[in-house]
Structure 1
C-alpha cells in the first residue's frame, strides 16, 4: 500500500487523522514525519505538521507480534527466577525504592505562568491564573479567569487551543517526559463537548428524516472525535471526515 499524506496542527493530530482515514488503530499505522510544523503566534502564520502514512504490512505486523511474544516469555522466565531467588534468600532480599519522577512540578507551573504573564501583558489583559501539575498523569492544567474570557476563547475555541499549544512547547522544551497541557476557562471545554454531542443527535435525527447526508462546519480533530464518538453506536447513521485542514469536516450519512 502506498503512503498517503496527512496534515494537522501537530504530529499527534496528524496521526489521528491518518487513523480515521485508514480506519485502523495507531499500532497498525506505518508513518513518517515530513514536517513538525510551527505554531506562529496565537495561531497566526502557523504551519501544519505533515506525515506520510499507510497501513502496516500484515507480515511485518505478524513479525512484531512474534517479537513481543518472545519478550513476554523472557519476562515470565525472569519473574519465575526472581520468585525462586526470593524464597531462598527471603531475609536478605529488599524491595528497591520506586524511582522518583524527574519532572519538577513547581518549575513547570512557574514556566507556564511566566509565559502567560508576558502574553497577557502584551495584550494588556488582566487574567487570573490557576495552574496545577498532576505528577501521576503528567498533566499541567491551566484555568483562566477574568472579564474578557470571550477574547481568549476565540471562534470555536481556536485562541484557547493556540494558547494550549504554545504552553505545551514552553513546558516540554527541556523535559524528558512529555507533559500534557490542558487550558480552559469558564468550563468552556465541557460546555463545548455537551453542545457538540447535542448537535450530533440533532443531525442524526435530520439525516434519518430527510434520508440525505449532512456536512457539518469545519472542526479541529478534537471536536471531530467528539462527533464521531457521539454517533459511533447510532443504529441509523454513520460518520466520516472529508476535506483538508483547516477546513476538514464531519459528514453524517444514513446507514445502508
Structure 2
C-alpha cells in the first residue's frame, strides 16, 4: 500500500491516522490536504471532518531499481535486479539471460547504465549515494583483468624506459590501475579529457 486517504477531527489527526495505516513516518511521505474540515457550532453542529491524502514517497534505491527494470526491458533483456546498501554505497546486481548485451564491449554499456543510475538515485533524494552496477560478477573479473594489464604495462614501461599510455577508461577503473601500481618502480597519472581520459605509466 503506497497511498491512503484518511479523515479525522483535525488535519493532524487525519495525518496520524494515515501514517499508522501506511506504517511509516512523516518524513517518508507527501501529504495532500483535501479538506481542512471545520469545527462547527459548539464543536458539534455542522462540523466537518478533515480529509488528507498521504502518499508514501518512493525510496531512492527503489526508484533506481525501477529505472533499471525499465531500461533493460526496453533493451529486451529479461533481468533480475538485487540491491545491497552499505552505508551510502548501493550495489545493483543484474542477473539473467543475454547479460552480455548489458555489459557491452569492455563494460561500456554497464558503465553507461551505472552513470545513469547514479544520476537517477541522487536526483531528488535527501541522501547522496555512490553506485555500482554489476552483471553476474563482471566487475570483479574486470578488476583482475585491469590489475594484470597494469602490471604487464608497468614492466613494459620499465624495460623500454618509456612512457606507456593505456586505453581510455572511466575514473573508477583508472583508480584500480593507480592502486595496483603504487608500490612499483613506476609513476602513474591520468591524461586527456573525458571520455578519452586515460592512464600514462612512466618509469
TM-score (norm 2): 0.66
- 1:80-118 CA-partner distances (Å, limit 9, x unpaired): xxxxxxxxxxxxxxxxxxxx9x68998334322322222
Query: Does residue 117 of the first structure (1) align with residue 69 of the second (2)?
Result: yes
Unaligned runs of 5+ in 2: 1-24, 29-55
Partner residue in 1 for 2:111 = 161
Distance 1:114 1:230, change over 3 A: same
Query: Does residue 129 of the first structure (1) align with residue 85 of the second (2)?
Result: no
Unaligned runs of 5+ in 1: 1-99
Which structure would you say has the larger Rg? Answer: 2
Distance 1:132 1:105, change over 3 A: farther
Partner residue in 2 for 1:198 = 148
1:227 to 157, 174, 177: 177
Matches within 5 A, 1:74-85: none
Query: Aligned with 1:239: secondary structure?
Result: strand
Distance 2:73 2:130 in 1: 25
- 1:162-199 CA-partner distances (Å, limit 9, x unpaired): 21222222222232210222210121111111111111
Kindly state the Cα deviation for residue 219 of structure 1 after the two structures are TM-superposed: 1.4
Distance 2:176 2:96 in 1: 28
Query: Does residue 252 of the first structure (1) align with residue 201 of the second (2)?
Result: yes
Distance 1:105 1:214, change over 3 A: farther
2:188 to 231, 236, 239: 239
Kindly state the Cα deviation for residue 242 of structure 1 after the two structures are TM-superposed: 1.9
Distance 1:251 1:178 in 2: 32
Partner residue in 2 for 1:185 = 135
Distance 2:67 2:171 in 1: 26
How many residue pairs align between the two structures? Answer: 151
Matches within 5 A, 1:50-69: none
TM-score (norm 1): 0.53
Distance 1:105 1:157 in 2: 33
Q: Aligned-residue CA RMSD in angstroms?
A: 2.4
Distance 1:105 1:233, change over 3 A: farther
Contact 1:237 1:253 in 2 (8 A): yes
